[in-house]
Structure 1
Amino acid sequence: MSREHAISIFNHAVAAVQPAILMKKNVQRKGDTIKIADSIFRLQANRPVWIFGAGKAVAAMTAALEEILSGIPLKGLVITKYHHALPLQHITLAEAAHPVPDENGVQATAQMIALLKQVQENDLVFFLLSGGASALLADYPQGTTLAQVQTVFELLLKSGADIHEMNVVRKHLSAVKGGQLTASTNAFYSLILSDVVGDDLHVIGSGPTVPDPSTFADAYAILEKYHLTTQLPAPVLQHLSEGVQGHIPDTPKQGNAHNLLIGNNKIALDAAAEKAAALGYEVHILTTTATGEAELLAQQLIQKAVNWPGKRPACLLAGGESTVTITGNGLGGRNQQLALAALIALQNGHQNITLLSAGTDGTDGPTDAAGAIADTAVITAAAEKKLDAAYYLKQNDAWHFFEQTGGLFKTGATQTNVMDIIVVIINY
């Protein structure tokens, strides 16, 4: 039952961070008064409430807000990833590419900027933000092209840079990220679902409504750190160089938006712990800030499980977001890479341990899986088919390994996004 229990624990975690739940906790309406966290706003006669946003979870966030604000005139536009759309009653929903931006994202972002210019001084504006917005809010600097910015995104994704580093660069190749998306009102509320370690608001979705502490110099230094400056398209490098020299204004260090965190990995892990305890496990949340190379993180987790000194059966939980430095030509994602590394560590007789690693958004890299499961069934299937797990790991081809061994974990789009969750079950 270990696999079934791990899946149940993961699903319980995802259910706890569904936008329908989180939005209702943070926005309530009574007549013409709207309470947003600790703020009270009185609606203006004959004026709409504006809703904008971007991210993998923004369709569900918008649907929940439309329900809360039922009967009020609503206007706006939100952008989500392909295949993450939901029916909306009033707000325009656009779909675009992730993790590399495309022309649909560029056009939708331009439409959003045009609508934001229609906002009046006393209007109420909601901006709904979740992970994925860095690609979905798509634009590119004057003098460059979309294809050139796409090249930068692809280089960053393969480099091993973490999300904090990638988003510093993304902010400085944009006129909307890094606190640059604003409206002419002081009633500008950004409701944010965190998909980054540490819940740094200026990092989530590249912080379009949040003042940005980073600089052009920081962006350039990150590209140098990963030896990418020589691979950048010349116009992109010129733009960044001009920014470093002060010829282009840096991202704003102050702003007028009220930025509110409404959901994060901790909420999901607490729910996972609750479910694991109900299933009879001794539960320990190890961390909500797991980072580093997926292979190393997997080895550390399996070592903890193998040497676990506490009561059994036990369930160890971790949240965060690992990275993968891609050197092969295979198919996979960070969770599948982590699960494959864990499987290799488990092959030497540790049949009492099961590991599930998956993204709470339901996607892992450019694949149809949320992640993967490492357990005895997969080890047996791999042995029967004479598959070399180490070879697949080196090729960054975890998807094809788990596809052949029954270890892929598929959920479809979950309509939320609070990083990854790793469930490790230790039986007797």
Structure 2
Amino acid sequence: MRNSAIQIFSAAVRAVQPQYLLRKYMRREPGGLRLGEQFFNQQDINKVYIIGAGKASAAMAREAELILGNRIDAGIIVTKYEHAFPLKTIECIEAGHPVPDENSLLGGREIIRLLKNAGEKDVVIALISGGASALMIDCPPGILLPELQIVFNRLLECGATIEEMNIVRKHLSAGIKGGQLLRTAAPATVISFILSDVIGDPLDIIASGPTVADPSTFAGAWEILRKYQLPDKLPVSIIRWLQLGMNKQITETPKPGDPLFDKSFNYLIGSNRIALGAAASMARGLQYQPVIITNVLKGEARDKAKELVSQIQQYDGIRPACLLLGGETTVTIRGTGKGGRNQEFALAALVELQKLYSIDEENRPVILCAGTDGTDGPTDAAGAVADGLVAALAAKRKLTPENYLAQNDSWNFFHQTGGLVITGPTHTNVMDIIVVLIP
């Protein structure tokens, strides 16, 4: 059943590849360009610029070059290391993720430099996907990159949601996040094509919303830091910047209704829902009854894993079945191990399954949990599989899954038991997929 689970997950990832998605929204037509619902007459366009950031941005840029060809005048995109493609016109910068590095700063600076050239008859096409919050950054006055890196690390460690992290990140940016990129691009028209890696697909949160109006505030960002007891753990420069913002001594991010957005058009082109639909189709083809449980899974990974195993126990539908879930859990790090939220989810699920099934029991379910971006935490794996094969090897090697879970050490457990799901870069990113096969 493991092979079937991997086939179903792979079908989900294929369905949200930029080469399939972007062509539905971008094409050359006689006399002009069709971008989303906007048609631009050739004589009304001066230059076309491409910008972008995220784990899928290089694949999106490659497809844009195939569609638009020599109509692109210049472009810069920033993607994660090992995610680049050879491009003809668009410059590609690889940078750090999930913590920004010098290249993230370079990418942000180069995109701002390019946008400063944009005029009223120019069209800027923004290719945005998950990961952009770290890959494309700027340092506000008085804040250094190492200080920003501390904030990113603290937010990753404390269990903050992606919404919370990106509200803080938007208010530690002076020219990119939270719609601020449009201030530089004005008066050009900006068309953004966005892949969602956030539950519910809120455009203002995905990639910290560089081209979207921002309803959040400095005060809201400060409350998030207080919630996780972070102010005392952050550099003085960070605190000072946020306090200046709360005191209205720094301009807020542009809000809904700002005329800045009159020439900005945002299109969501890929989501977890699309991936789950493709997974269900593959499951049906493999003779499993597909049941999509949710595409908004969130919460602590180990808690949600326990709940899922309980749901499996209560399932009384057609068998064999494939239960499908999408979303993104979080992990509060308490141990010193290595892993990611998907591997932790799979390990916690394995612990629960051990209580209910013997290793070689015929009706033992298989649970695969993996990220559609091919990355799970700071590891080489997309996720992991919890099945009888893993349980058998763990028993043979006298490995206790509960001990590894206590140390947040899921990668080392699955590395030793053959349960890692390794895909390499997938060049897309629509959160996580969980596949449960019930014989």
TM-score by length of 1: 0.98
TM-superposition CA deviations, 1:20-77 (whole Å, max 9, x none):
0100011121133111222111234883311000000000001111111023243110
TM-superposition CA deviations, 1:252-292 (whole Å, max 9, x none):
10332111111100000000000001111111000000000
Give the aligned residue type for 1:110.
R
**What is the distance in 2 between the residues matched to 1:43 and 1:373?**
52
Aligned residues: 426
After superposing the two structures, state which structure 1 stretch, 343-352 or 302-311, moved more: 343-352
Aligned-partner SS, 2:214 = coil
After superposing the two structures, state which structure 1 stretch, 63-72 or 206-215, moved more: 63-72
Aligned-partner SS, 2:89 = coil
Query: Which residue matches 2:163?
Result: 164
Alignment check: 8 A CA contact 2:195 2:429 kept: yes
TM-superposition CA deviations, 1:348-380 (whole Å, max 9, x none):
343420000000000000000000000000001
Query: Which residue matches 2:239?
Result: 237
After superposing the two structures, state which structure 1 stretch, 301-310 or 199-208, moved more: 301-310
Give the aligned residue type for 1:10.
F
Aligned-partner SS, 2:181 = coil
**What is the distance in 2 between the residues matched to 1:44 and 1:322?**
48
Write the mapping of 1:274-353 to structure 2, written as runs, cut at 5 A.
274-350=281-357, 351=361, 352-353=364-365
Alignment check: 8 A CA contact 2:44 2:121 kept: no
**What is the distance in 2 between the residues matched to 1:45 and 1:197?**
38
Query: Which residue matches 2:181?
Result: 181
Displacement over 2 Å in runs of 4+: 43-48, 184-187, 348-351
TM-superposition CA deviations, 1:282-338 (whole Å, max 9, x none):
110000000000001111111111221111100000000000000111110000000
Write the mapping of 1:358-377 to structure 2, written as runs, cut at 5 A.
358-377=370-389
**What is the distance in 2 between the residues matched to 1:281 and 1:372?**
21
After superposing the two structures, state which structure 1 stretch, 136-145 or 181-190, moved more: 181-190
Give the aligned residue type for 2:401.
A
Write the mapping of 1:2-401 to structure 2, written as runs, cut at 5 A.
2-44=1-43, 47-175=46-174, 176-182=176-182, 183-253=185-255, 254=258, 255-256=260-261, 257-350=264-357, 351=361, 352-401=364-413
**What is the distance in 2 between the residues matched to 1:73 and 1:158?**
41
Aligned-partner SS, 1:70 = helix
Give the aligned residue type for 2:39.
I
Give the aligned residue type for 2:170.
K
The Cα shift of 1:109 comes to 1.0
**What is the distance in 1 between the residues matched to 2:171 and 2:222?**
9
Alignment check: 8 A CA contact 1:44 1:122 kept: no
The Cα shift of 1:186 comes to 4.7
**Identity over the aligned pairs, expressed in percent?**
52
CA RMSD of aligned residues (A): 1.1
After superposing the two structures, state which structure 1 stretch, 329-338 or 186-195, moved more: 186-195
**What is the distance in 2 between the residues matched to 1:142 and 1:120?**
27
**What is the distance in 2 between the residues matched to 1:47 and 1:93?**
23
**What is the distance in 1 between the residues matched to 2:111 and 2:36?**
25
**What is the distance in 2 between the residues matched to 1:326 and 1:150?**
18
Give the aligned residue type for 1:247.
Q
Aligned-partner SS, 1:336 = helix
Alignment check: 8 A CA contact 1:79 1:95 kept: yes
**What is the distance in 2 between the residues matched to 1:146 and 1:317?**
40
After superposing the two structures, state which structure 1 stretch, 151-160 or 248-257, moved more: 248-257
Alignment check: 8 A CA contact 2:65 2:72 kept: no
The Cα shift of 1:104 comes to 1.0
**What is the distance in 1 between the residues matched to 2:43 and 2:433?**
43
Alignment check: 8 A CA contact 2:45 2:121 kept: no
Distance 1:229 1:29, change over 3 A: same
**What is the distance in 1 between the residues matched to 2:88 and 2:365?**
47
Alignment check: 8 A CA contact 2:120 2:186 kept: yes
Unaligned runs of 5+ in 2: none
Alignment check: 8 A CA contact 2:178 2:212 kept: yes
TM-score by length of 2: 0.95
Alignment check: 8 A CA contact 1:223 1:229 kept: yes
Distance 1:117 1:186, change over 3 A: closer
Aligned-partner SS, 1:4 = helix
**What is the distance in 1 between the residues matched to 2:98 and 2:60?**
20
**What is the distance in 2 between the residues matched to 1:44 and 1:11?**
43
